[in-house]
Amino acid sequence: MNVSSNIEQIGKIVLDYKYYPGEDLYCDGEVEDEILDIVKNYSPIEYRRIIEERAKWPVLYHLSPLRENIVDWVPMDKDAKVLEVGAGCGAITGNLAKKAGSVTCIDLSKKRSMINAYRHQDCDNVTIHVGNFMDIEPELPNDFDFIYFIGVFEYGQSYTGTVRPYEDLLKMMLRHLKKDGRIIIAIENRLGLKYFAGCREDHLGTYFSGIEDYAQGGGVRTFTREGLENIFHACGVKDYSFYYPYPDYKFMTALYSDGRLPMPGELSENNRNFDRDRMLLFDEKQAFDAVIKDGLFPVFSNSYAAVIGDDFDIKYAKYSNDRSPEYEIRTEICIDGEGKKIVKKHALSNEAIDHIKSMETAYIDLRQRFEGGKLRVNKCSLCEDGKSAQFEFVEGLTLEEILDGCLERNEIDKFHVLFKEYLERISYHEEMPVADYDLIFSNILITPKEVSEETNDEAEEDSSLDESGLKAIMDGAWTIIDYEWTFGKPVSAKETAFRAVYCYVLENEKRNKLNLDAIIETLGITEREAEEFREQEMGFQEFVTGKHKSMAQMRDAIGYKIMEPLKWVHKFDDSSEKERIQIYEDRGNGYCEEDSYFVRDAYEGENLIRLELETAGNVNMLRIDPAMDYCVVRVKELTFNGMAVEPGKKNIITNGKSLKDGSYVFATEDPNINIRLGNLDRMDRNEIVAEMEIVRVPEEIAKDMAGAVKKIW
């Protein structure tokens, strides 16, 4: 580390403190010290292991390599000059430095800038300016090729403090852009579907704040697409385009555009917030499918990546970099020099280059296997860089989409017709020592025979599959479009088909209507074989991921809850009847309704009641009915004239079963707790205080719990 006046050097990174105010004005607390320690003492190759071991949101957020996806797809020249505003801990700095000629970073936090420097200390083309943006901005040059606002533009009010902060911030940055340069803004959509479904607003941590247009105030603003466009227009920006990171820009796994929007069934990774508890008010996948079908996806995309300047040739990108390093790749759809769509796959690590090269071999081997059959293999050739492979772009519908349509229309017979056709086609020369293990339904694209554009338009409006439509599909071209998991050994068609069905059903609950017994019968496999195939699938997933945790598993490990109100809201539908508290008094002749009464306003919280009762000296037994439903009750306090009533058969009898610590489970809709007042020191007037927690539970759960404990009478 070298320090000279306002300049500090960490490795090859230069930090400029000329405008540093002398203290960090924002901080995540001790976890930043933890992250600084990690980047000082561990290699980036170890970050994934550390992230999994520590299972903390800030560690995942700042160090996950998936954060780079939001900028990795952007093509940049080796001599590009880049400005990164709000660089933070350097989640994207390394990727920019790898691709560009020079990277200038700005961040207010010294500690975060040090984290950035230590983790990228081998980069000799990065300078980090530490301090207030408004102080640094006047000294910035005016020839940047790219200016990045990744999760920063929403703080425009804090940056400028002006009446129109977002317009003023953008106008200011446009002055620092080359004539043909680009500004890239990654930001949440305040009307993103995940916020309707129950995710909290990312910056404020509150429910529905963005949807309500920040009615409660706060210094952060995210925008709809139209809101961003209005800002652009106010700044005189005419050339811009929108991309749609999914699930959002933070841990993007797919990038869509107006040139390639998502198709129904694609958006299935939706429980991807890691920073706090959330509600789950509806099935986001099904909602996204409906939104997509109605052409409204750009309105409800969770995030935007807005590009100011010329559009890019890339129209779609999908990342598979949560795998083991030797299989980390990016798949993209782009426009070639002739204006045609092509598909490319790129190695995202040096270890993955061999995997890319194997795809050309797989193409040759699979084409040889299926020659003379009814499956076509999408053409593949290696690119000159040796790190990429190119494939032809094929128009059509995936077999998955067609099968989904059959299930939605309850055309189960046609589903089985198509499945048998699929099985016949993949069985061709199955004895040969080459097999595509990943011949799932989404990897087969079907171009129906002799279907004109006009007929295609009509088919989109009328989703029914009549006999002529079925024949057009059966006679059409079936193309394998993705075969990266091709192995040089024979694999039986029934194993391949079972895996395809297994994956198909797991991805979508709507597909549970499929009769798996009929599928198994068609395949002619035993239950033992089916279990073996499931175990092989688990082994394959471990092979691909290198036994690392998936992002879904990381969310579970971090430990934030997903609350599903629909699973318990029903208990409030009849709460006025079911949550009544009734008191009976026995004066020697037993209980009767005439000597009972209901206690009003006993609830002090959602599940907590407090009773303060008075009884005459001639009351021998007091019965408390805590609810009119199956429930679990914990007695937190029970006193008689200020003295604790000891639990046990002598003083308390119930028609429930005792758990522990004064808790009882009642497998009845008439639960009661009886206190033997005759065994206690009574006076003419007596006071009973009871405080209880009451949780209503379904009948089956109550009976299961009661069956597991000893009954007390």
**Tell me: the pLDDT tens digits for 463-505?**
567 888 899 999 999 999 999 999 999 999 999 999 999 999 9
Instruction: Check if the beta carbon of residue 334 is closer than 8 Å to that of residue 73.
Output: no
pLDDT digits (tens, 9 = 90+) for 609-628: 999 999 999 999 999 999 99
pLDDT digits (tens, 9 = 90+) for 118-148: 999 999 999 999 999 999 999 999 999 999 9
More confidently predicted of 304 and 3: 304
Rounded to whole angstroms, how far apart are CA atoms 116 and 199?
29
Whether 606 has a pLDDT exceeding 50, the answer reads yes
pLDDT digits (tens, 9 = 90+) for 427-441: 999 999 999 999 999
pLDDT at residue 376 in the model: 97
Average pLDDT, the chain: 92
Confidence class of residue 455 from pLDDT cuts 50, 70 and 90?
very low
Confidence class of residue 662 from pLDDT cuts 50, 70 and 90?
confident
pLDDT at residue 282 in the model: 94
Within 10 angstroms of residue 392's Cβ, the number of other Cβ atoms is: 14
Q: Which domains does the chain have, with CATH numbers?
A: 2-188+220-246+305-315 (3.40.50.150), 325-392 (3.30.200), 398-556 (no CATH), 569-706 (no CATH)
Report cis status (omega within 30 of 0) of the bond before 671: no
DSSP, residue by residue, 154-182: GGHHHHH-SSSHHHHHHHHHHTTEEEEEE
pLDDT at residue 477 in the model: 96
Tell me the mean pLDDT in the region 91-101.
98
Whether 453 has a pLDDT exceeding 60, the answer reads no
pLDDT digits (tens, 9 = 90+) for 310-349: 999 999 999 999 999 999 999 999 999 899 999 999 999 9
Confidence class of residue 175 from pLDDT cuts 50, 70 and 90?
very high
pLDDT at residue 630 in the model: 93
pLDDT digits (tens, 9 = 90+) for 397-435: 999 999 999 998 999 999 999 999 999 999 999 999 999
**Helix intervals (H) in 55-207:** 57-63, 69-72, 93-99, 110-119, 133-136, 156-160, 165-174, 193-197
Tell me the mean pLDDT in the region 683-688.
94
Rounded to whole angstroms, how far apart are CA atoms 26 and 20?
13
pLDDT at residue 461 in the model: 43
pLDDT at residue 570 in the model: 60
Instruction: Check if the beta carbon of residue 148 is closer than 8 Å to that of residue 82.
Output: yes
Pairing status of strand 177-188 against strand 144-150: parallel
Instruction: Check if the beta carbon of residue 492 is closer than 8 Å to that of residue 407.
Output: no
pLDDT at residue 589 in the model: 87
Whether 454 has a pLDDT exceeding 70, the answer reads no
pLDDT digits (tens, 9 = 90+) for 376-391: 999 999 999 999 999 9
Report which DSSP code applies to 189: B
Whether 711 has a pLDDT exceeding 80, the answer reads no
Rounded to whole angstroms, how far apart are CA atoms 439 and 503?
11
Rounded to whole angstroms, how far apart are CA atoms 371 and 380?
16
Within 10 angstroms of residue 316's Cβ, the number of other Cβ atoms is: 21
Q: What tokens does 551 get?
A: 């992002």
Whether 78 has a pLDDT exceeding 70, the answer reads yes
Whether 459 has a pLDDT exceeding 50, the answer reads no
More confidently predicted of 649 and 612: 612
- Angle at the Cα of 205 from the Cα atoms of 199 and 206, rounded to 5 degrees: 75
pLDDT digits (tens, 9 = 90+) for 248-277: 999 999 999 999 999 988 999 998 889 999
Report which DSSP code applies to 581: E
Q: What tokens does 382 get?
A: 């290696």
Instruction: Check if the beta carbon of residue 419 is closer than 8 Å to that of residue 464.
Output: no
pLDDT at residue 456 in the model: 47
The pTM for the full model equals: 0.80
pLDDT digits (tens, 9 = 90+) for 513-568: 888 888 988 999 998 998 999 999 999 988 998 888 989 899 999 999 999 887 77
